[in-house]
Chains A and B, each alone.
Chain A
Amino acid sequence: MNEGPPFLGTWPRVYAAVIVWLALLIALFTLFTRAYNR
């Protein structure tokens, strides 16, 4: 039952990747807002 993930080796690394992806999206959306929204 304690299977590893199919990529990145361990589950904590997969979780970290998801959080990094979220942080990247928020950063991109912030840049998008600052670049275009007036």
Chain B
Amino acid sequence: MRSWDWAVLALSLAGIVAYGLYKGRGSDTTEKYLLAGKTMPWYAMALSIMATQASAITFISTTGQAYVDGMRFVQFYFGLPVAMVILSATAVPIFHRAKVYTAYEYLEKRFDAKTRALVSLIFLIQRGLGVGVALSAPAIVLTVILGVPSSVTTVIMGTLVIVYTVMGGIKAVTWTDVQQMAIIFMGMIAALITAVALLPANVTLGDAVTLAGAAGKLNAVTFNFDWNDRYNLWSGLFGGAFLALAYFGTDQSQVQRYLTGKSITHSRLSLLFTAAVKVPMQFLILFTGAMVFVFYIYQRPPLLFNHVELERVAAAAPAALGDIEARYSAAFDARRAAASRMIGARHAGDAARAETAAAEYRTAQRALDAARAEGAALAGATGGKDFNDTNHIFLTFVTRYMPAGLVGLVFAAIFAAAMSTASAEINSLATVSVIDLYRRHISPNATDRHYLWASRVFTGVWGLYAMWFAGYGASLGSLIEAVNMVGSLFYGGMLGVFVLAFFFPRVGGTAAFCGVLAGEAAIFYAHLATKISFLWYNVLGCAVVIAVALALSAVRPRAEERQPQ
């Protein structure tokens, strides 16, 4: 990073905090602090929803994923618009009319206190693990790229988030999310334009698309069904819809975004705008990754994008690495030459010659992939753990090839993505802690001012916890992946109980409570004893919750349970 980049990064971060403090003024009641006094317009909520979902690691790894695996990851989002329509028609009006601070508060109105407490605790465990990852995962990557200790980036991001989230509550969180999404969009567009602009003069955008496609990187839609395959049309539409229903309909970090809406219409529009924009946005991010792949056809990429690991392997196994590097270089030269012949034939309109060159290009690509896989295996063998450098691909491109100033903008986008996710999660964790536990079970009759200050204190405590967990997680490496997986273990049960609440008025609290426990047991069994992709856990857990609750209701119909509201 050059001085211009540091200046852009520092100005962006200072601007985010200042804007958050400015927009968060006047949050002097619990309702204003936690629900923005229900004054937020649809576009602010929509951008906040998208910013909360787009964590820094998503931003970094999605582009790298296109480089390695192609664009098929976009299918993961196909179920999202379906879920948004269902939530707009069901959850939004129900939550608004119930006048609740949290989704779990509604569960007591509909079922009973123990069901509310159970689901609140599940949320606190799940999101409590996730909030540390939101800060630590990008910190680990930034450490390698910038050469700055991860503790420094974690403390910078964490402190800034705590300052504006504690002071301004959800208004500050939402409006900074708007600003952060703008920075993320600008950073991504700048990266795409740079990748295309740095291609050789004789390679047009059409040529670049042809080269990416010939290497299998433009596989945006795949129809093959496989239970163990995460990304195909069917898992995206059905598994993705259930995951999105659970995430946007039961996770307080998202529900709280649209509970701040000034009306049901504004809350619905925020979800439907997200539904319309999210899929094309992910396509654009993945397309940027595909263009970075094409850029590296003409510019030799490193064998391993994590340069710290590459240097370690060079010291540990120089002969083996040298052999792999030689084959990698030969494959790169062959691929570049074949690509040039392919483009030349395309421009000349010689289809037969283009097809021959494409076959040579694909052969060279396979040799290149094989050498890279050998390099990764060597890094894994010498390092004693699995090696994966997908998260380093995009940032290596950014730091080495983007012009001064734009590098700072992309890093500002990464910081913004991390901070927007962390701030929303801290804010929602504090809300559930205060509303569902503290006010409900510990101090039920205090003044509004008391709960306002309790909310500020819990926000600060969760923020400090996130920083501590991030520092701890940074030293554990692959645990990050495991923690991400833990999050997906709980959504099925949470979704199931809300489906019961909305659509099965005869089911009572005890049946719902037992259903959640059974659903979670089924998900943990599937995770430990089968190879089913995690996208299907939500479908499975939700189905088991409903089946068990209905069975219990049939055996022991609700008597003293409350009537649905």
Interchain Cβ contacts under 8 Å between A and B, 23 examples: A1-B97, A1-B263, A3-B264, A4-B265, A5-B269, A14-B268, A15-B88, A15-B272, A22-B81, A25-B280, A25-B283, A29-B74, A29-B221, A30-B220, A33-B220, A33-B221, A35-B213, A36-B209, A36-B210, A37-B70, A37-B216, A38-B216, A38-B358
Contact of A1 among B70, B85, B209, B264 (CB under 8 A): B264
B72 nearest CB neighbor, chain A only = A33
A interface bracket (residues with beta carbon within 8 Å of B)? 20 to 34
B517 CB → nearest A CB, Å: 34
List of A residues within 8 angstroms of B212 by Cβ: 36
B81 nearest CB neighbor, chain A only = A22
Instruction: Tell me whether B490 is interfacial, beta carbon within 8 Å.
Output: no
A25 nearest CB neighbor, chain B only = B279
A22 nearest CB neighbor, chain B only = B81
List of A residues within 8 angstroms of B222 by Cβ: 33
Interface of A is mostly: helix
User: How distant is the Cα of A19 from the Cα of B97 in the complex, in angstroms?
Assistant: 26
The residues in B between 57 and 93 inclusive whose CB is less than 8 angstroms from any CB of A are 70, 74, 78, 81-82, 84-85, 88-89, 93
Contact of A14 among B78, B272, B283, B358 (CB under 8 A): B272
A27 nearest CB neighbor, chain B only = B221
User: How distant is the Cα of A14 from the Cα of B89 in the complex, in angstroms?
Assistant: 11
B362 CB → nearest A CB, Å: 8
A35 nearest CB neighbor, chain B only = B213
B86 nearest CB neighbor, chain A only = A15
Instruction: Tell me whether B196 is interfacial, beta carbon within 8 Å.
Output: no
Instruction: Tell me whether B275 is interfacial, beta carbon within 8 Å.
Output: yes
How many residues of B are in contact with the other chain, CB < 8 A? Answer: 38
A19 CB → nearest B CB, Å: 6
The residues in B between 272 and 296 inclusive whose CB is less than 8 angstroms from any CB of A are 272, 275-276, 279-280, 283
User: How distant is the Cα of A15 from the Cα of B358 in the complex, in angstroms?
Assistant: 44
Which among A14, A29, A33, A37 has the greatest number of chain B C-beta atoms within 10 A?
A37
The answer on a CB contact under 8 Å between A3 and B265 is yes
List of B residues within 8 angstroms of A29 by Cβ: 74, 220-221, 283
List of A residues within 8 angstroms of B219 by Cβ: 33, 37
List of A residues within 8 angstroms of B209 by Cβ: 36
What residues of chain B have their CB less than 8 Å away from a CB belonging to chain A? Answer: 70, 74, 78, 81-82, 84-85, 88-89, 93, 96-97, 209-210, 212-214, 216-222, 233, 263-265, 268-269, 272, 275-276, 279-280, 283, 358, 362
User: How distant is the Cα of A30 from the Cα of B390 in the complex, in angstroms?
Assistant: 26
Q: Give 10 new A-B contacts, CB below 8 A, not counting A11-B88, A15-B85.
A: A3-B263, A5-B268, A15-B272, A18-B84, A22-B275, A26-B78, A32-B220, A33-B220, A33-B222, A38-B216
The answer on a CB contact under 8 Å between A19 and B96 is no
List of A residues within 8 angstroms of B96 by Cβ: 1
User: How distant is the Cα of A36 from the Cα of B347 in the complex, in angstroms?
Assistant: 16
What are the 9 tightest A-B residue pairs by CB atom distance, in nearest-first order?
A: A36-B213, A29-B220, A37-B218, A22-B81, A15-B85, A30-B221, A3-B265, A37-B213, A36-B218
User: How distant is the Cα of A31 from the Cα of B373 in the complex, in angstroms?
Assistant: 31
The answer on a CB contact under 8 Å between A18 and B276 is yes
The answer on a CB contact under 8 Å between A32 and B264 is no
Given A5-B265, A11-B89, A15-B85: A32 touches B275 (CB 8 Å cut-off): no
User: How distant is the Cα of A13 from the Cα of B76 in the complex, in angstroms?
Assistant: 25
User: How distant is the Cα of A29 from the Cα of B509 in the complex, in angstroms?
Assistant: 45
A31 CB → nearest B CB, Å: 9
B70 nearest CB neighbor, chain A only = A37
List of B residues within 8 angstroms of A32 by Cβ: 218, 220
User: How distant is the Cα of A15 from the Cα of B82 in the complex, in angstroms?
Assistant: 9
Instruction: Tell me whether A9 is interfacial, beta carbon within 8 Å.
Output: no
The answer on a CB contact under 8 Å between B89 and A15 is yes
Given A5-B269, A11-B88: A22 touches B221 (CB 8 Å cut-off): no
The answer on a CB contact under 8 Å between A38 and B214 is yes
User: How distant is the Cα of A10 from the Cα of B233 in the complex, in angstroms?
Assistant: 30
User: How distant is the Cα of A36 from the Cα of B268 in the complex, in angstroms?
Assistant: 37
B97 nearest CB neighbor, chain A only = A1
User: How distant is the Cα of A18 from the Cα of B279 in the complex, in angstroms?
Assistant: 12
B237 nearest CB neighbor, chain A only = A26
The answer on a CB contact under 8 Å between A19 and B85 is yes
List of B residues within 8 angstroms of A5 by Cβ: 265, 268-269
B32 CB → nearest A CB, Å: 21
The answer on a CB contact under 8 Å between A22 and B78 is yes
A8 CB → nearest B CB, Å: 11
The answer on a CB contact under 8 Å between B78 and A18 is no
The answer on a CB contact under 8 Å between A19 and B81 is yes
Contact of A19 among B82, B216, B220, B358 (CB under 8 A): B82
The answer on a CB contact under 8 Å between A6 and B218 is no
List of B residues within 8 angstroms of A35 by Cβ: 213
The answer on a CB contact under 8 Å between A6 and B265 is yes
B214 CB → nearest A CB, Å: 5
User: How distant is the Cα of A5 from the Cα of B264 in the complex, in angstroms?
Assistant: 10
